[in-house]
Amino acid sequence: MIDKDFTPLFHVLSSEQQILQRTDQKAFTILSILGVFMVFFMIHFTKMEFNWFIFIMTIIYFLSALLTIIQLVLVIVPRVRKDKFSTKKRPENPTFFAGISKFSTPESYAAHLQKISKDPDKVYQLFATQVFSLGKINQYKNIAMKRAILFFVAAITAELIIIMSLAWTIAMGWLQTVSDVGTSIL
């Protein structure tokens, strides 16, 4: 009977942990891609001829890149606050590292787990609390991830506009030279 009660809880717990891992993987991937683009930009930064347009786009690029990094750090290391609405003090959850680290010895941790495991309601509440906490962490991470993606797209777009602007400037200079050579021949 108890196994049937825990099955949905374990399924949701597993799902939430997978979402957490995928979100972290996305954050590291975007951070790596942004790093590659930033190195590329920095190498060519000193070769640029600045005008007001490129200056403004460069500021947009750097601000967007900085905000992307900040949001990705919030995804990787979430800052989730305790529930403000709870009036009663909850005991430490021995399934999370913070709760486990409160015990001084493995024996005291094992004794606490044995004490809890004797009451199916306490065990169910323990895992329900863990699922709820993971859900809150995932919600926080997904909000930060959405912002990071938005800032990442803004940074890459600004960089591409700068590159297109520089290419246009070079092309116009070349076309002007070709045009001048063509008219001098005639």
- Does 184 fall in a domain? no
In a domain, 23, yes or no: yes
19 assigned to some structural domain = yes
Residue 181, in any domain of the structure = no
DSSP string, 62-115: HHHHHHHHHHHHHHHS--PPPPTT--SPPPP-TTSHHHHTT-SSHHHHHHHHHH
Half-sphere exposure of 73 (CA within 13 A, CB side): 6
Task: Report which of residues 35 and 97 the model is more confident about.
Answer: 35
Kindly report the average pLDDT of the chain as a whole number. Answer: 84
Q: State pLDDT tens for residues 16-26.
A: 899 999 999 99
CA distance 82 to 71: 20
Radius of gyration of the chain (CA): 27
In a domain, 75, yes or no: yes
Neighbour-count burial for 71-98, b at 16+ CB within 10 Å, e otherwise: bbebbeebeeeeeeeeeeeeeebbeeee
Number of domains in the chain: 1
Q: Is the per-residue pLDDT at 185 higher than 70?
A: no
- Dihedrals φ, ψ of 10, to 5°? -65, -35
Q: Does the pLDDT value for residue 48 go beyond 90?
A: no
pLDDT per residue over 110-149, tens digit each? Answer: 888 888 888 888 888 888 888 888 889 999 999 999 999 9
Domain that holds residue 99: 2-82+93-176
Which pLDDT tens digit goes with each residue over 165-178?
Answer: 988 888 888 777 77
Q: Is residue 9 part of a domain?
A: yes
Residue 165 lies in a domain: yes
- Answer yes or no: is 182 within a domain: no
